[in-house]
Structure 1
Amino acid sequence: MTALPAAGTAVVADLALAHEPLPVSEVVDGSPATAVAVLDDTGDREIGIWEMTPGTARDTEADELFVVLSGRATIAFEDPSLVDLEVGPGSVVRLAEGMRTVWTVTETLRKVYIV
């Protein structure tokens, strides 16, 4: 993980990230990998960059707000009352703690998140 110093700066679209394969138990299709760079965790919130390569994986969400910087994905919810989300550059999404989702990434997805 990478952290920025006080008064630091980063071009998040160009930030190099180290990807790791997802646990087999989370993978639905393909060979998706994820990477994280924590930009700030000095308060009671964490702000960072998260990226996932193409593939499909299950997740249990944290209480999170994020903005998609690049890539495309569909976020499906196990709760049938929620509508699937198609996300791409500029999408702003709010997820609640405990939501069970399935992410299908068609173009490597990079987002700035706040948890």
Structure 2
Amino acid sequence: MTRMDAGAAAVAASLEIPDEPVPADRVRAGSPRTGFLDLDETEGRAIGVWEHTPGVSTDVEADEVFVVVAGAGLIEFTRPALPPVELRPGVIVRLAAGMHTVWTVRETLRKVYIA
């Protein structure tokens, strides 16, 4: 699935998401893999599902709001320095473009995002 049709339904935690290894320069621990599935893109807004397997990686974020639908982990904010957020199903997080983060994933994490 690359785009959802109007009236379609899917279980976010069950979608097949192609993944690939996180680039070595972003890995802090383990061998994490990430992948995403775009569900819709309209007028500069993207909606999709993203997944990160266990491990620790860094990222520079885009403007995004997401809700965790499966898994467990922690997101730390290194720039700007902000309190970490424990990630578990139901948690909603707002990211701003340019934020530097560290993702520590204990159980494969899956989120639905709007960016």
TM range (shorter): over 0.9
- Could you list the runs of 4 or more consecutive aligned residues of structure 1 that deviate by over 3 angstroms after TM superposition? none
> Residue 61 of structure 1 aligns with which residue?
61
Q: What residue number does 2:112 align with?
A: 112
- Paired with 2:74 and 2:101, the residues of 1 have a C-alpha distance of 10
Cα shift readout 1:64-103 (whole Å, capped 9, x = no counterpart): 0000001011111113641011110000000111000000
Tell me the equivalent position of 1:78: 78
Q: How many angstroms does 1:55 deviate by? A: 0.2
Matched, 1:47 2:63: no
Contact 2:80 2:100 (C-alpha < 8 Å) held by counterparts:
no
Q: Which runs of 5+ in 1 are unaligned?
A: none
Q: Secondary structure at the match of 1:9?
A: coil
2:101 matched residue in structure 1: 101
In the alignment, structure 2 segments of 5+ residues that lack a partner are: none
Compute the TM-score of the two structures, normalised by the length of structure 2: 0.93
1:105 maps to a residue whose letter is V
Structure with greater helix share of residues: 2
Pair 8,26 (structure 1): closer, same or farther in 2 beyond 3 Å:
same
Residue of structure 1 equivalent to 2:13: 13
Note if 1:32 corresponds to 2:32.
yes
Could you tell me how far apart the structure 2 residues matched to 1:110 and 1:66 are?
10
Whichever structure has more strand as a proportion of its residues is 2
C-alpha deviation, 1:41, in angstroms: 0.4
